[in-house]
Homo-oligomer: A and B are copies of this chain.
């Protein structure tokens, strides 16, 4: 098994490289003590293949329909796979995202992936994009003028970029004809969310009553000052 250890040593310093190669350790244990997982049950094999083939997350219902198995059996198969693809065990992990299950690469393999595909996984998110995305995520469907009203500055370029990256999409038109936006499955996937309910309550970021009082005070003073100036002008 020492050769395997050497393989590990040659690998780039991923977070996992630090762990002693456990194959060595495990080899000393009687194999019978391991869970017998080499033989993946047929249904789990099929589910695994479907997850591999589909670029979109698959729900238990869809999987049950395609495999012609019961949803309970599918969930059991997913549990088997979740164990096999538990984080840190393989280069691929099983994630529950975007309303279903999907396979994804383990983050520890990112350096190699970036070298191979010679492009970063995704461009960074600018503050304007993050704000626009947050407004769409919480208020969807929401129109561009509404986003602009909340942000106080134009959201046009940020919204176009988010559309381009498939994080938001059009969702019909408002009664005034403005395009409405909503978030996509891609958004859930890239942000590691199972569904929108996983977003924390927006009220969580309300300022404290003291902060609010202080803000109100400042605004009032500013308002009075302006009111006075206006009177002088007229």
Contact = CB atoms under 8 A, between A and B. Distances in A.
A109 to B, nearest CB: 4
Contacts of A77: 7
A163 interface: yes
A44 interface: yes
A127 interface: yes
A194 interface: no
This protein's copies in its complex: 2
A73 interface: yes
Q: Name the residue in A10, A39, A70, A127 with the highest tally of chain B Cβ atoms < 10 Å from its Cβ.
A: A39
B154 A105 contact: no
A214 to B, nearest CB: 27
Interface in A25-61: 26-27, 29-50, 52-55, 58
B76 A11 contact: no
Contacts of A116: 50, 53-54, 58, 62-63, 65-66
Interface stretch (A88-96, A200-208, A217-225): A88-96
Nearest to A45: B91
A23 B11 CA distance: 19
A3 B115 CA distance: 27
B42 A36 contact: no
Nearest to A58: B116
A154 B14 CA distance: 38
A33 B35 contact: no
Interface string A169-209: 11111000000000010100000000000000000000000
Contacts of A68: 12, 112, 115
B36 A27 contact: yes
A113 interface: yes
A97 to B, nearest CB: 16
Interface in A71-121: 73, 76-77, 80, 89-92, 103, 105-106, 108-109, 112-113, 115-117, 119
Interface string A138-170: 000000000000000110110011011110011
B45 A108 contact: yes
A45 B109 contact: yes
